[in-house]
Amino acid sequence: MPRNTFKSCRRAFTTVELMTVVGILVVLIAIGVAVLASMRANAKRTATRLLLENMMAISEEYRVAIGRNVTYDLGSVGDVYDESIVEFVKTTRNAGDIGTMYRGLSEETMVDDVTDGWVVLDPWKTRLLYLPRHPYDIDDNGSDDTLSGVKIHNRPFFVSAGEDMTFGTGDDIYSFEQD
């Protein structure tokens, strides 16, 4: 019987080879997801810093035009933490040309809260804090020039609660460089 010179042998991938390829793909996808999440978090932190810089520019413009920093009567607002940014926006939006500086903020940032008025939100949808001068806590030495251990140099500033959306934790973002 003549030997068939054409072999009809089809070779397929083994289960081990297929599982190896699937495993490599899973690892690559996991790395990609982790990198993407990290990039998204960094983008939000950067956007928050830019927002805080814009708010400081508005504050400085108000100080130059009016001759003083934006202040509010602590007795006139219910919860100083929630209402501070409302009072800031209310004061500066009605101060002539300074109010036009808000046009540069996105619709996600400037929100018209039906009960309070206009508020400014960070990328995590948390209201910013505006502190005209005095910190809301005093350091262990009784000095009023620090906020949770961060020097504020007796100036107004803004704070974002950061990614965990809780003020006073390690991920808070300030409108000034921490010393």
More confident call, 37 vs 144: 37
Residue 6 inside a domain? The answer is: no
The total number of structural domains in the chain stands at 1
Residue 2 inside a domain? The answer is: no
CB 94 within 8 A of CB 133: no
Structural domain of residue 114, as residue ranges?
Answer: 15-174
Q: What is the pLDDT of residue 132?
A: 72
Q: What is the pLDDT of residue 72?
A: 66
Q: What is the pLDDT of residue 71?
A: 74
More confident call, 18 vs 89: 18
Residue 60 inside a domain? The answer is: yes
pLDDT tens-digit readout, 19-30: 999 999 999 999
Q: What is the pLDDT of residue 81?
A: 53
Residue 151 inside a domain? The answer is: yes
* CA nearest to 106, candidates 122, 93, 90, 91: 122
pLDDT tens-digit readout, 102-148: 888 888 888 877 666 788 889 999 888 887 754 444 444 444 444 44
Q: What is the pLDDT of residue 74?
A: 53
Residue 41 inside a domain? The answer is: yes
pTM (whole model) above 0.85: no
Q: What is the pLDDT of residue 77?
A: 44
Q: What is the pLDDT of residue 139?
A: 44
Q: What is the pLDDT of residue 169?
A: 83
CA 22 to chain centre: 37
* CA nearest to 147, candidates 134, 156, 161: 134
Give the Cα separation of 113 and 120 in Å (integer).
10
Q: Side chain identity at 115, as an amino acid letter?
A: T
Instruction: Report the relative pairing of strands 157-160 and 173-174 from DSSP bridges.
Output: antiparallel
Question: 113: helix, coil or strand?
Answer: strand
Residue 168 inside a domain? The answer is: yes
Residue 179 inside a domain? The answer is: no
pLDDT tens-digit readout, 57-98: 888 888 888 888 787 655 544 455 556 788 888 888 878 788
Residue 8 inside a domain? The answer is: no
